[in-house]
Amino acid sequence: MTDFIKGLRGFRRGAWEIVASVLIALGVFMLMQPFSLSLYSASFIVTLVGTVMFIIVSHFPE
């Protein structure tokens, strides 16, 4: 956990990629869940933020 936070603070690729992956997975879940239309409406922006973040953070140092 400490390594993960250190990675986030130091702008390390691994930690930030995990954050971006979680956002993408959350966005896909929100897109397909059967519980709330509001979650569905917000899904695209969450997936988009995750995907763009993934592209950016994959250029961070290891």
Partner 1 sequence: MLDSSADRAVGETPPVVSKRSRGLSDRAIAWLFVAPSIFLLLAVNIFPLIWTVRLSFTNFRVNRPNAEVQFVGLKNYISVLTDGDIWQTMQATAHFLIWTIVLQVLIGFALAYLINKKFRGNDMWTTIIVLPMMLSPAVVGNFWTFLYQPQIGLFNYAVGYLTGTDPSTFSMIGDVSLAPWAIVIVDTWMWTPFVMLICLAGLRSIPSSIYEAAECDRASKWRQFWTITIPMVLPFLMLAVLFRGIENFKMFDLVVQLTGGGPGSITELTSINLKREAFEKWRTGYASAYAVILFVTVFGLASIYVKALNKVKQR
List of residues contacting partner 1 (CB under 8 A): 17, 20-21, 24-25, 27-28, 31-34, 37, 40-41, 43-44, 47-48, 50-51, 54-55, 58
In degrees rounded to 5, what are phi and psi of residue 58? -70, -5
Minimum CB distance to partner 1, residue 43 (Å): 7
Here the tokens at position 46 are 């969450």
Q: Which of residues 6 and 35 has its CB atom nearest to partner 1 in the complex?
A: 35
Please report which helix (H) or strand (E) contains residue 55, including its range: helix 37-57
Say how far apart CA 14 and CA 32 lie, in whole Å.
Answer: 27
Minimum CB distance to partner 1, residue 61 (Å): 16
